Amino acid sequence: MRNLKYLVVPFLCKSSLLKLSTYNREESYTKVYNNQKQYKIEPQTIVFSGNSNTKLANEVAQCLGISLGKVILERFADGECNIQVLENVRGRNVFIIQSTCPPVNENLVELFLFISALRRASVKTITVIIPYYGYSRQDHKLAKTESIAAADIARILEQTGIDHLVSIDLHRGQLQGAFSTSVPVDNLSPYITLIHELNNHPLKLSPPNELTLVSPDFNGVSRVKKVQDELKIAFPNIKTKLAMIYKSKHPVSETEISLVGDVHGKNCLIIDDIVDSGSTLKNAAEILKREGAKSVMAYSTHPVFSGKAALNLGISNLSKIYVTDTIQVKELDKQILYDKLSVLSVAPLLAETIYRLQKRESLHELLGAHNF
């Protein structure tokens, strides 16, 4: 793993990060992103990266002003994973950054073996940072004999020996309950990235200062309401309303899709946690346009972008798509979507999280309390 040079970059300010109740559009974000702060990382703290998103891990290390821990992560000819930790980790507090994104099973096995290797090397604590938690959508049974994979993965992670898990915008906040009380789980809110982006690049709204937030399904309403609450505080001059796309499934007829809320002549922003095939966002944009929406944009935290997702989104009625870098977007997908796509970095958020955890400080301001 290549060492990184010491670099101080814009950071998330300790004193004001995500204190949404005290947001001031003109002042708060200057404190959060433009202050130059040199993080002091304790000698006993070391941060490693898996192979799933090395770009994000490198950016987190840059934010912290440290080098990532040295490790060999390789594959044998038959596909088996081999891990060799090249640092003295005995008695140290270790952080691993690894999204369990596609190839999901490969990244999961690598993470399990990484944890095991560290535990066998007598580390003091292991905090796993999983920006995107794979299998999170399999959180309940749809058939009597079906597995609940989200909970099963939690059990395996716990058995391998983790002490703490951090994720971003879990599909269901209740997944935190799949772990025992000995393994705390922190579910970080990603919406400061969207608010910061809109602060730097304001939307051109017409009618001015009016924005309708749309949930693509019933289950996402709580998430959209949370975004509305945060936008109201960050941008008090923007009037926000809610709308929802509702699907009624009938056993003997086609699924009936209806819209709850008025979007005629409105600027719409669809809010979702995961964009996978892109069909949900594409279909939602089509419905909103059909109902008279003036413009349609979308925000989705985790860009899984499977199959022809980029092509689907590229030909959709979406004028803008915001995602974060919890999963590294392929260069080809970026080229297909071009200026439609804005990738927002969660690296400063994760850097602040690591800093607070190693200082034993509260993460309350980073969580957003959005347990959907």
Pair 79, 211 in one domain: no
Which letter does DSSP use for residue 21 in this model? Answer: G
Q: Which domain holds residue 115?
A: 20-190+347-367
Rounded Cα distance between 363 and 361, Å, is 7
Pair 228, 93 in one domain: no
Rounded Cα distance between 306 and 73, Å, is 25
Instruction: Give pLDDT tens digits for 115-134.
Output: 999 999 999 999 999 999 99
The three-state DSSP-derived secondary structure of 142-203 is: CCCCCCCHHHHHHHHHHHHCCCEEEEECCCCHHHHHHCCCCCCEEEECCHHHHHHHHHHCCC
Pair 295, 215 in one domain: yes
289 is catalytic: no
Pair 149, 258 in one domain: no
Instruction: Give pLDDT tens digits for 166-221.
Output: 999 998 877 787 889 999 999 999 998 999 899 889 998 888 899 999 999 988 99
Pair 247, 127 in one domain: no
Among 57-61, 249-253, 331-335, the range scoring the smallest mean pLDDT is: 249-253
Pair 146, 240 in one domain: no
The active-site residue, picked from 144, 247, 308, 359, is 247
Instruction: Give pLDDT tens digits for 143-155.
Output: 777 888 889 999 9
Rounded Cα distance between 30 and 196, Å, is 10
Alpha-carbon 284 to chain mean position: 21
Instruction: Give pLDDT tens digits for 68-123.
Output: 999 999 999 999 999 999 999 999 999 999 999 999 999 999 999 999 999 999 99
- Report pTM: 0.87
pLDDT for 249 equals 63
Pair 204, 246 in one domain: yes
Pair 325, 257 in one domain: yes
Rounded Cα distance between 282 and 327, Å, is 20
Number of domains in the chain: 2
Pair 248, 338 in one domain: yes
Pair 164, 99 in one domain: yes
Q: How many helices (H) and strands (E) does the chain have?
A: 11, 14
The answer on pLDDT for 253 being more than 90 is no
pLDDT for 366 equals 81
**Pair type for strands 239-248 and 256-260:** antiparallel
> Which CATH number goes with the domain that contains 230?
3.40.50.2020
pLDDT for 138 equals 82
